[in-house]
Homo-oligomer: A and B are copies of this chain.
Amino acid sequence: MDRESFRLELAQQLRVDSVRASSAAGSGHPTSSMSAADLVAALLDGHLRLDFAHPEDPRNDHLIFSKGHASPLLYSALKAVGAIDDAELLTFRAFGSRLEGHPTPMLPWVDVATGSLGQGLPIGVGLALAARRLDRLPYRVWVLCGDSEMAEGSVWEALEHAGHESLDNLIALVDVNRLGQTGETMHGWDLGSYAARARAAGWRTLEIDGHDPEQIETALKDAEAGDGRPVAVLAATRKGKGVAEVEDKPGFHGKALKHPDDAIRELGGVRDLRVTPARPETTAAPHVFAVRGGELPTFDLGETIATRRAYGEALRALGDRRGDVVALDGEVSNSTFSELFRDAHPERYFEMYIAEQQMIAAAIGMQVRGWRPFASTFAAFLTRAYDFIRMAAVSRADLRLMGSHAGVAIGEDGPSQMGLEDLAAFRAVHGSTVLYPCDANQTARLVETMADLPGISYLRTTRGATPVIYQPDEEFPVGGSKVVRDGDDVTLVGAGVTLHEALRAAGTLEREGIRARVIDLYSIKPVDAVALRRAASETRGLVTAEDHWPEGGLGEAVLSAIAGSPTPVRLLAPHLMPGSGTPAELLSQAGIDAAAIATAARELVG
């Protein structure tokens, strides 16, 4: 069989297996798989350099199905390369199967979960950046995109960033099958409209018939010949290609075929072709950054310094000690102090401009290759990337995120800049760790800890300076807390800025003869249930104070920990939309300053 015939046959096999898998499941997206089968057949046969027997090989190319709903095609491809067998293919979408409805890294050949559209290409940018600037290896990143998902702004962030960074190791294969879930896309088969957009962002574009093996081969070869620009192969295809009942017809998105046996016959029947993708050509090892060692920064008791600055200093020091730490920022590095890392380790710093989705996606891509990204921006603006963070948890990604300028305590800039929902949002991310330090030494230790934490860890920092209350050698285990002042009358629970307000309140209360225990709940998730339950049983009430909306934050974390305790709890949190003002005015208005905490404590013990 000549190459062209083999690929046509292989593509038909991928279609048949996509039909078979989705029919076995009774659901799935066979038609969205069938449109891209010729592209994937060509990719497997001579272009993708991926050793499926050793998916962990750092020299491998990467293949991301950004259109994750085309999972039947991906799994059919895995069968064709011998990575899975036919029996496993037919477990598609069954409980306990690795072949989930949308791909996840439960499969070792899947780098990241997809299925929320518009994420594959920005993550591919992260992998391509890792190849170019971190690993310094010639692997390429292939991303199969749908045409519907090109409407996502995150895709345009990726186009923009890849063009700016001249990532010619990134190749987008856009399966322009014209039909979205409900009808025609904005641009239908107008390949030129996509090409004009991508070219404007500095990409090279190739417009082809996505079912013509010759045109595909020419395009892929051309795409591999890097000229400094990322490449978009814009392929006009037909959804459901090969089965007349569904081909190029609306109304068949996300459904198993009604007559699979007829469809399989029409596609030429079941085949058992094997294809062996190329292996990586290089034998080079990934680049290793030399480090000079050094100690974490330490701060003197009583010194006042913002935790965001301590973050920057600790991150720089961490970069001195370990070569796998990298940093990204959303064009606010002089606010988050990631600029300290940037200036010390410019090769491992990535300016992502004001594009938070691309920032998080790039971090996800980099951690696929074992790098340890810390990404920072204002806490408020991480909400811009919440879907990426949610999906990162499905990807089992290890991400370290820092959100600065949390809460009303930022003062004059007003509510658009105040992170007031970040604790709730991050607590509700699967497997997350949520940390909220109150002083510089604590911040530095927690940053150090984050480097080795699995999953998604989030550090919330404060704009204004706070006094150092901990010795540099104090330890802060994840899931722990600190009793920073002892007392048996009432417990005051705070973190970050409110910890200092609680300490002031405790001083006031002491002068009135009320002995308050003050707990620094720096680990909001996991939370120190033991210390909180002990406080609930040993004192007459708990006051929690947080610079965050009342829902889903520190207060509710405490309630969860002590559920069923009869000890009364007062949750202090802002209830009004704040405006501008000084930090003191806004903490007072929000009812979370020392005076409000003391008042609540008095009511509990009185």
**Contacts from A to B (Cβ < 8 Å):** 25-28, 68, 93-97, 99-102, 104, 106, 113-118, 148-149, 151-157, 160, 164, 180-183, 185-186, 193, 196-197, 199-201, 331-335, 339, 351, 353-355, 357-358, 380-381, 383-384, 386-387, 390-391, 393-394, 396, 412-417, 420-421, 424-425, 427-431, 525, 548-553, 555-557, 559-560, 563-569, 571, 577, 579-582, 585-586, 589
Contact check, A383 vs B390: say whether CB atoms are below 8 A apart. yes
Contact check, A427 vs B552: say whether CB atoms are below 8 A apart. yes
Q: Closest chain B residue to A97 by CB distance?
A: B580
Q: Given A390-B383, A421-B429, A428-B552, decide whether A157 and B153 contact each other with a Cβ distance below 8 A.
A: yes
Contact check, A68 vs B353: say whether CB atoms are below 8 A apart. no
Known: A97-B579, A551-B557. 14 other contacts (CB 8 A): A94-B581, A95-B582, A115-B414, A152-B153, A160-B186, A182-B333, A183-B351, A197-B197, A197-B200, A384-B387, A396-B577, A424-B427, A424-B551, A564-B567
Most B Cβ at <10 Å: residue of A156, A384, A394, A412: A384
Contact of A560 among B106, B559, B564, B586 (CB under 8 A): B559
Q: Given A182-B332, A353-B185, A425-B424, decide whether A104 and B27 contact each other with a Cβ distance below 8 A.
A: no
A357 to B117, CA, bound (A): 13
Contact check, B331 vs A180: say whether CB atoms are below 8 A apart. yes
Contact check, B563 vs A566: say whether CB atoms are below 8 A apart. no
A560 to B557, CA, bound (A): 10
Q: Closest chain B residue to A69 by CB distance?
A: B413
A501 to B453, CA, bound (A): 36
Contact of A116 among B96, B358, B416 (CB under 8 A): B416
Contact of A331 among B148, B333, B557 (CB under 8 A): B148
Q: How far is the CB of A429 from chain B (nearest CB, A)?
A: 7
A100 to B118, CA, bound (A): 35
A104 to B416, CA, bound (A): 9
A563 to B293, CA, bound (A): 49
A116 to B553, CA, bound (A): 22
Most B Cβ at <10 Å: residue of A99, A102, A181, A387: A387
Residues of B within 8 A of A427 (CB): 424, 551-552
Contact check, A149 vs B354: say whether CB atoms are below 8 A apart. yes
Contact check, B579 vs A106: say whether CB atoms are below 8 A apart. yes
Q: How far is the CB of A205 from chain B (nearest CB, A)?
A: 11
Residues of B within 8 A of A412 (CB): 25-28, 93, 101
Q: Closest chain B residue to A27 by CB distance?
A: B412
A412 to B27, CA, bound (A): 8
Contact check, B118 vs A424: say whether CB atoms are below 8 A apart. no
A160 to B186, CA, bound (A): 9
26 example contacts (A-B, Cβ-Cβ < 8 A) are as follows A68-B416, A94-B581, A95-B580, A102-B413, A102-B416, A102-B417, A104-B416, A113-B416, A115-B413, A148-B354, A151-B353, A152-B153, A153-B154, A181-B334, A182-B331, A185-B353, A186-B353, A197-B201, A384-B386, A386-B425, A393-B577, A394-B577, A428-B549, A428-B553, A563-B568, A564-B569
Residues of B within 8 A of A164 (CB): 186
Residues of B within 8 A of A354 (CB): 117-118, 148-149, 151-152, 180
